[in-house]
């Protein structure tokens, strides 16, 4: 409804608009760090009354006439990017870059040159699609996105296939991890924690977690046995140099994004410039990740950025042969392999959940998650009045 204003209201139920649509009755949905960028007003083209939410799952209740792979009654998880499955990008498995699903591509083209895919609940610039923090949601291209999940896996184990599990996975995958590698991850939020877990599964020898909230670092230490740096207390560059024999981590993952917090004076500089719109994003974690990375290393950026940043250390990137890789996650690529791992018990992302609440508690949930109250890491909302299964 406005900056830092979320309300739960009755709206007309979604209807089938195209033959490839389905309507889903949502059973579980979550709030993401990406929602905070919308909530805090840093993503343009949000309008009063827009329905948020891009991490959701549920039951198919209505099926369009052209849908073949899913049927009414199926329990599905839906990827947050909307992809047609047949365009050039989709054929190359670059699903978050689908060329057919953003009807407002011209706005994104003005800002970014070319448009990526439309996303659920993520501004008009990215399609204006109603999101899944709702009882019902329309899902276009239903034969391409949703994946059926087995009944014996509870919502909490599979919900994060919609976004943060593949995102953490892709963040680690972009690091080209080899045996012996040391990976540093900025941000111990849900995305950072799942990137850490993925890096371990891919064979990293050491994974280092960086944040300033002790309760979030504790998850990294206690759940995964990781080394942690609290950047509120310790100089990150110095600590990383000591931990890596002066060389720097082989790859650095930015799981923080455009609203990084940073101690003065640089933190204040970014806050002030962002406030008067002289730069759109606060990139302090990204700058630090670049400077800390070893020569020839990889900086994997899964934190979301919106526009233009300042004091970007391009000299460090160029002279030290760094590679920067990034993207909104190509979720569809990872659905089946990650679901298989969940089934086999190799992966269980539910450890990031700290709060289970009802959909009508969304205003309170956004506030808890934004302000890191009550040791909040990840909130799952359930529209049916019960806490999520
Ligand atoms: P979150 O807000 O819960 O976590 C961010 C964490 O970063 C917080 O714990 C915060 O304390 C920490 N942090 C802030 N400044 C820091 C700094 N200077 N150094 C180290 N840590 C710092 O959010 P989340 O849900 O974990 O999401 C993280 C980012 O990932 C967001 O930008 C989100 O938009 C993005 N995201 C990207 C994709 C994608 O497709 N690439 C998908 C989902 C989320
Ligand atoms: Zn998300
Ligand atoms: Zn496509």
Q: Which domains does the chain have, with CATH numbers?
A: 22-163+329-382 (3.90.180.10), 167-326 (3.40.50.720)
* Alpha-carbon torsion, ordered 193, 287, 372, 204, to 10 deg: 10
Separation of alpha carbons 96 and 140, rounded Å: 14
pLDDT grade for 385, boundaries at 50, 70 and 90: low
Q: pTM (2 decimals)? A: 0.97
- 325 Cα to the center of ligand 3, angstroms: 21
Could you check whether the bond before residue 265 is cis, i.e. omega within 30 degrees of 0? yes
> Residue of the nearest CA to atom 40 in ligand 1?
328
Residue 365 C-alpha from the chain's centroid: 17
Atom of ligand 1 nearest to the CA of 210: 20
- Tally the C-alpha atoms within 13 A of residue 128's C-alpha that lie toward its C-beta: 10
pLDDT tens digit sequence for 25-57? 999 999 999 999 999 999 999 999 999 999 999
Q: Specify the 3-state DSSP secondary structure of 49.
A: coil
Q: Cβ atoms within 10 A of the Cβ of 176, count?
A: 15
Is the distance from CB of 121 to CB of 3 less than 8 angstroms?
A: no
Q: Specify the 3-state DSSP secondary structure of 136.
A: strand
- 231 Cα to the center of ligand 2, angstroms: 24
Atom of ligand 1 nearest to the CA of 378: 3
For position 223, what pLDDT does the model report? 96
For position 386, what pLDDT does the model report? 52
Q: Please give the mean pLDDT across all residues of the chain.
A: 96
Is the distance from CB of 372 to CB of 39 less than 8 angstroms?
A: no
Separation of alpha carbons 80 and 54, rounded Å: 5
* Alpha-carbon torsion, ordered 379, 226, 228, 193, to 10 deg: -30
- 328 Cα to the center of ligand 3, angstroms: 14
């Amino acid at each position: 409804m406005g900056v830092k204003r979320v309300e739960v209201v009755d709206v007309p139920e979604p209807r089938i608009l195209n033959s490839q649509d389905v309507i889903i009755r949502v059973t579980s949905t979550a709030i993401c760090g990406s929602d905070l960028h919308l909530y805090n007003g840093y993503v343009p083209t949000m309008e009063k009354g827009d329905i948020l939410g891009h991490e959701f799952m549920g039951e198919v209740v209505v099926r369009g006439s052209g849908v073949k792979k899913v049927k009414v009654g199926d329990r599905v998880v839906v990827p947050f990017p909307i992809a047609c499955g047949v365009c050039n990008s989709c054929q190359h498995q670059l699903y978050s870059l689908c060329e057919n699903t953003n009807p407002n591509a011209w706005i994104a083209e003005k800002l970014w040159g070319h448009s990526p895919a439309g996303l659920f609940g993520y501004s008009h610039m990215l399609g204006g699609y109603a999101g899944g923090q709702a009882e019902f949601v329309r899902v276009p291209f239903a034969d391409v996105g949703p994946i059926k999940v087995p009944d014996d896996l509870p919502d909490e184990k599979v919900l994060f296939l919609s976004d943060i599990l593949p995102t953490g996975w892709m963040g680690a995958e972009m690091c080209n991890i080899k045996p012996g590698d040391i990976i540093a991850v900025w941000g111990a939020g849900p995305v950072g924690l799942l990137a850490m877990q993925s890096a371990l599964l891919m064979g990293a020898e050491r994974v280092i977690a960086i944040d300033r909230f002790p309760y979030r670092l504790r998850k990294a230490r206690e759940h995964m046995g990781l080394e942690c740096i609290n950047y509120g207390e310790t100089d990150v560059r110095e600590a990383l140099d000591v931990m890596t024999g002066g060389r720097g981590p082989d790859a650095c993952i930015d799981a923080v994004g455009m609203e990084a917090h940073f101690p003065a004076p640089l933190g204040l500089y970014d806050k002030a410039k962002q406030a008067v719109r002289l730069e759109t994003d606060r990139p302090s974690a990204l700058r630090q990740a670049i400077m800390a990375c070893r020569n020839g290393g990889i900086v994997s950026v899964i934190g979301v950025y919106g526009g233009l940043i300042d004091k970007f250390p391009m000299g460090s990137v160029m002279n030290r042969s760094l590679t920067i890789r990034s993207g909104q996650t190509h979720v569809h690529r990872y659905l089946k392999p990650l679901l298989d791992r969940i089934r086999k018990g190799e992966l269980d992302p539910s450890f990031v959940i700290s709060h289970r609440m009802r959909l009508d508690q969304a205003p309170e949930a956004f506030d808890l998650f934004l302000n890191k109250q009550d040791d909040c890491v990840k909130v799952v909302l359930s529209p049916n009045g019960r806490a999520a299964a």
